[in-house]
Amino acid sequence: MELSDVMRSQNACRYYKSDDVPNSVLYKAIDDARFGPQGGNRQPTRFVIVKDPAKKKRLGELYMIPWSAYAASAREMNKAIVASDGTEKATNLGMSNPEKALDDADNFAANFGNHPAIVVVCADIAETHPTDTELGRLSIVGGGSVYPIAQNFCLALRNQGVATTFTTLLCMYEPEIKELLGLPEEWATAAFIVAGYPEKPFPTKLFRHPVETMAYVDTWGNSLTN
């Protein structure tokens, strides 16, 4: 596939076939993903691919705890947006059918432990070297040495016809997951990527904000145009 097509159709898949994703496919994806940018080439990222049914079931049980709370909050927010601003505002926010989107996400969550593979992205925190820890806000810079490789992994799988869903909800259960998977103490959980062959075709169009509202030249608000 053309790179642009891969990038424009790599969605958060909610429905997966039960087919196994061969280790050879996952190997190739990681083989390509590992060339993603990272500070000082310290390579602080590792992948743990979970296929064992019992371990996946436990991950699914943990996932449902925060998801249930999030879904309830999201439904209330959707109702408030539609009630105060109407369906046009909801559509502009990419919520043309917000209830269906949440229903699809509910299905994904309910089947989390049944999906073909759950890939745990691990990070060696000591090797991320964030530069924003003294700014009085949430530190995000350290992720710059981890998430580009994780995104490369998703794109490399999409190029092979494998769908993914990227989530960080399970990171709050890091102690339990470390014990479940035997993760070393110094390695943190940075993300969880479900991987499998999609039950439905890949999308041909994804909602995203236009470039003009996302990129500026020299000064905030001075839109980048083509």
What mean pLDDT do residues 140-163 have? 97
Q: Give the CA distances from residue 14 to residues 85, 113, 166, 205, 222, in Å, rounded to whole numbers and listed in that order.
A: 28, 13, 11, 16, 37
By three-state DSSP, how is residue 88 classified?
helix
- Model confidence over 16-58: pLDDT tens digits? 999 999 999 999 999 999 999 998 999 999 999 999 999 999 9
Closest C-alpha among 97, 27, 111 to residue 63: 111
What's the domain count of the chain? 1
Query: Domain for residue 144, yes or no?
Result: yes
Query: Domain for residue 205, yes or no?
Result: yes
Query: Domain for residue 226, yes or no?
Result: no
Query: Domain for residue 222, yes or no?
Result: no
| Lookup: tokens for 125 | 């925190």
Task: Give this prediction's pTM.
Answer: 0.92
> In this structure, what CATH number is given to the domain that contains residue 111?
3.40.109.10
CA gap 203, 200 in Å, rounded: 9
- Model confidence over 179-204: pLDDT tens digits? 999 999 999 999 999 999 999 999 98
Q: What is the Rg, in whole angstroms, of the alpha carbon atoms belonging to the chain? A: 19
By three-state DSSP, how is residue 56 classified?
helix
Q: Which domain holds residue 20?
A: 3-213
- Model confidence over 112-135: pLDDT tens digits? 999 999 999 999 999 999 999 999
Query: Domain for residue 218, yes or no?
Result: no
